[in-house]
A and B are shown apart, each in its own frame.
Chain A
Amino acid sequence: MAIIEVNHLTKEYQLGHLTSLKETALNTMRRLALQPVHERERFKALDDVNFHINEGEVVGIIGHNGAGKSTLLKHLANISKPTKGEVIVKGSVAPLIEVGAGVNPELTGRENIYLNGAILGIPKKIIQQKLDEIIDFSELEQFIDTPVKRYSSGMTVKLGFSIATSMEADILIIDEVLAVGDLAFQRKCFDRMEDLIRRQGKTVLLVSHNIRQIERLCNRVILLSKGSVIGDGDANSLCAKFYQANDKKNKH
């Protein structure tokens, strides 16, 4: 049963600044003079993307920079709306897209756990139950009552990740956040991911440039290039194809 359906998804952005007063006035004059109007250039971030994801699948999304991976994830997390096509998501989504987003530097770590939890939609009771578990995972017991502006960058990220992964949802969307923190923490995050995938059977969408990680965690991979899906299937073969494409690009 498809938990995520993406049908003919197209997303166009307009490049450049919003039309200023000067441009609008000049365009009006051009229209009156029956001359071509200067329109902002359009950029297709996603071009007719189609795929279905079933419950419990672990899908990796790979591609070069600017291929449309984050844009795709934003559509799945309901942050952006498609220009054409539709996105149907049948389940709650936990977006791990830059986990430090809701973390406010003026508040302490503990206050931020409550705030970030509220932003992610976790009911207060559940945050209270899981409070110790979150602080423990983040390894910040000693600093939890200090304002976050005094934390190191690694500490902030550990806090954010810890809060975000305590969110119970059917679908996890992870946008390159496993590459943060020191080696020991990265291992811990990876283990938690594996736990969520194998033992709890969550549907996971993982965007990463760490192809090894993708090969280890995912059984299916979607390869994006310049907004289109150029591969969708077995992880190992598509990752190999991606390596080949990269090698070719570097040879030139």
Chain B
Amino acid sequence: MASPCEVHVAGTDRRTAEHIAAVTANEARRIERKWSRYRDDNIVHAINSAGGRPVRIDDETARMLRYADELNRLSAGRFDVTSGILRKVWRFDGSDRVPSAAAVRALLAKIGWWRVRFEPPYLTLEPGMEIDFGGIGKEYAVDRAAALVRPVHPHCLINFGGDLLALGPRDDGSPWLVGIEPVDGRGHGIVDRIELTVGALATSGDARRFLLKDGRRYGHILDPRTGWPVRGAPRSVTVAAPTCTEAGMLATIALLHGARAERFLESQNVKYWCRRGSERKAPGAD
């Protein structure tokens, strides 16, 4: 999953702990193999290389696409699994290589969930379009692994690259202590420490990924409706929710609301932690 995956287990014997670790690792690998866009032997590759022909999809992928469809509707088009091809022109490497308006416009013709024909069990993309579960697969994997571990031992915390879920408290009833590292990557003290008893925390945003041209900073959160970075997005958003998938999607959609991210999160009635620049804003944590 291109990030460290770990599971913390409290109050059980070594064999059970090793079993839990194996179950978690296997599920993470299974989902990665299935939906990674870096492979050429999976369903995502089959869909993206079908050249306009319908592709028969399995149940789990169909459920994920239904979910993507719902997210697209709920976010008014801000969340879109077909927007991944924007990375062909946007490379957020800290340079000043901002793409031309024409290049972005050309790609927009290949983006839009509304262009997709989804008639389970068949999915048809227009030639040149691609889908990408990169923004959702990791959180989904946490929830799937949690469902497998839950019957074995409830005192676990599953953490896939900072998106995490506590099945329950530690064995002595105390919460897990989760530190949210600052987004600027300098490791300069933990900004927030969250006591997580049960449920999930997911974080979106990465301040290290941006372009800078003519004094203007282009953040890496791209609006699929325009093909351009969302303006005024926080550097990172962390959301608490019962499942990691929900937490991750709320954080991602909040970022897509740009300058109105906090306003969006306030309306959702969830606990959240937003970081902008060096200051920190956490009205949702009151």
A binds B: no
